[in-house]
C-alpha cells in the first residue's frame, strides 16, 4: 500500500503478511516497511519484497576489536605492544635492495600518522650487509593475530619507480611451515611503475609468486594512488576473502578460485605487515626518476570481527534520489519497478556500488519488487 507526503526514506524491514485484494498479479504474502526513522517531503511508495524465495536473515556487522590510530607524540616509535620489526638486508626472498631497520629515520609518528620512510643512503645493518637503501617493515607477529574479520588501513602510499609499498598478512605458522604453505594475503600491494593500481592477492601452496590468485583495482582518470589517502580493506570469512578500495569491491576469492587440487590455507590465524620495499623482482630497481626519501603515511589500521545483529533490506535518502540497500551477502535481486498504481511492471537495472557490507542502488520514486 502506498505511503504519501512525509515518508521515511530509511526503514528496517520485517516479515509481515499483508492481506489485500489489490495487485492480484502478485503473491499476497509480502514484507512491509514498518519502522520510521526520519521523514522527507516526497511522494514515495512502500517497497514490497517478495519473500517466498529467500528471507532476509541476520547478517554480520563489524565490531572493532583492535586498532592503532598512531596518535602518540611526534617523533616517537610505534607502540611496542602492537608492533615489532623485521630487520636486515638479505633481500627477503624477492631480491629487495633495502636494509630494514628499527631506526626513527625509517619509522616514526608524525602528525597522527605512522611514517615509513625509504631513504637512499649507504647503511650496514646488524647482519653485516651493506645496502644503498633503508626502509622499515612492521608486523604484529607475537603481538596480535586474527582469524576472520574486516581488516583495513587508511594510507597515502609513496610514489616512484622501484618502490613497493604493501599492507599484507602471513599465517602465524610461518616460522614452522614456511612460505607459501602458511598463506599470504596481500590487502594492498603497489609497485611504482603502476601508480594507479593496487593488487589484491592470495599466495599459497601451488599458487604463489607470479602464479598467485588475485586481481587489480585501478583508480579511474589516470589518478595516482599516491596523491591522496585511500582505505584498503579485506572482509575475510571462512572460505572467502573480498578486497575493497574505498569500500569498492574489486575481487572475491574462494576455494573455487584456486588451481585444481590446491589447498585453501586461509582459515587460521594471520598477522599484519606494513612495509615499503625498494627494488626487487616485482617493482624493478629505482632509476634516475625516483626521488628519495619517499614516505608511506598510515592514518590508521583497524581490525573488526563479525558481530551478528539484524540487518535487512532498507530504503535510504541518497544525495539526489532514494536508494535501495541490501546486504552484499545476498545475491543481486531482480528489481521490478512501476511509477504509479495500475502501471505495468518493468525490470530495471540500476547502477549499484558496494558500501561496506551493503549493496546500494539509487532509484527513482515508485513501487518496487525485489526477487531472489
Strand partners, 47: 368
Catalytic-labelled residue, pool 59, 96, 152, 189: 189
Does 235 qualify as catalytic in the annotation?
Answer: no
Residues 6+ apart with CB under 8 A from 241: 185, 202, 234, 235, 252, 253, 266
DSSP 49: E
Helices (H), 262-343: none
Does 184 qualify as catalytic in the annotation?
Answer: yes
Query: How many Cβ atoms sit within 10 Å of the Cβ of residue 185?
Result: 24
Residues 6+ apart with CB under 8 A from 335: 324, 347, 348, 349, 350, 361, 363, 368, 369, 370
Residues 6+ apart with CB under 8 A from 194: none
Helices (H), the chain: 174-177
Catalytic-labelled residue, pool 59, 184, 235, 352: 184
- Inter-residue contact 304 to 153 (CB < 8 Å): no
Instruction: Tell which residue, 143, 75, 133, 122, has the closest CA to residue 100.
Output: 133
Instruction: Tell which residue, 46, 40, 67, 125, has the closest CA to residue 91.
Output: 125
List the catalytic residues: 184, 189
Amino acid at each position: 500500500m502506498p505511503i504519501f507526503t512525509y515518508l521515511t526514506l530509511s526503514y528496517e524491514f520485517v516479515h509481515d503478511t499483508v492481506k489485500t485484494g489489490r495487485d492480484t498479479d502478485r503473491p499476497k504474502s509480502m514484507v512491509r516497511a514498518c519502522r520510521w526513522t526520519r521523514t522527507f517531503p516526497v511522494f514515495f511508495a512502500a517497497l514490497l519484497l517478495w519473500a517466498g524465495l529467500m528471507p532476509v536473515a541476520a547478517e554480520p556487522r563489524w565490531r572493532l576489536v583492535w586498532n592503532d590510530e598512531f596518535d602518540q607524540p611526534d617523533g616517537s616509535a610505534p607502540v611496542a605492544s602492537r608492533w615489532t620489526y623485521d630487520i636486515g638486508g638479505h633481500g627477503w626472498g624477492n631480491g629487495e635492495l633495502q636494509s630494514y631497520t628499527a631506526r626513527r629515520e625509517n619509522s616514526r609518528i608524525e602528525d597522527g600518522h605512522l611514517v615509513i620512510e625509504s631513504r637512499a643512503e649507504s647503511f650496514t645493518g646488524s647482519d653485516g650487509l651493506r645496502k644503498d637503501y633503508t626502509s622499515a617493515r612492521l608486523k604484529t607477529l607475537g603481538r596480535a593475530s586474527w582469524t576472520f574479520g574486516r581488516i583495513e588501513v587508511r594510507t597515502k602510499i609513496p610514489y616512484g619507480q622501484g618502490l613497493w609499498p604493501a599492507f599484507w598478512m602471513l599465517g602465524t605458522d610461518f616460522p614452522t611451515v614456511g612460505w607459501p604453505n602458511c598463506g599470504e594475503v596481500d590487502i594492498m600491494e603497489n609497485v611504482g611503475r603502476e601508480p594507479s593500481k593496487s593488487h589484491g592477492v592470495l599466495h599459497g601452496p601451488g599458487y604463489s609468486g607470479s602464479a598467485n590468485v588475485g586481481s587489480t583495482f585501478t583508480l579511474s582518470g589516470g589518478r595516482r594512488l599516491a596523491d591522496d589517502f585511500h582505505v584498503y580493506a579485506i572482509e575475510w570469512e571462512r572460505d572467502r576473502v573480498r578486497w575493497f578500495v574505498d569500500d569498492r569491491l574489486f575481487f572475491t576469492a574462494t576455494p573455487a578460485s584456486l588451481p585444481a587440487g590446491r589447498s585453501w590455507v586461509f582459515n587460521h590465524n594471520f598477522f599484519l605487515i606494513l612495509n615499503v620495499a625498494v627494488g626487487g623482482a616485482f617493482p624493478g630497481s629505482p632509476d634516475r626518476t625516483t626521488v628519495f626519501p619517499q614516505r608511506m603515511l598510515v592514518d590508521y589500521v583497524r581490525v573488526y570481527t563479525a558481530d551478528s545483529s539484524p540487518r535487512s533490506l532498507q530504503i535510504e535518502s541518497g544525495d539526489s534520489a532514494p536508494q535501495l540497500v541490501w546486504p552484499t551477502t545476498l545475491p543481486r535481486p531482480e528489481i521490478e519497478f512501476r511509477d504509479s498504481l495500475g502501471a505495468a511492471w518493468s525490470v530495471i537495472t540500476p547502477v549499484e556500488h558496494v558500501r561496506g557490507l551493503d549493496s546500494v542502488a539509487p532509484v527513482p520514486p515508485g513501487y518496487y519488487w525485489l526477487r531472489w
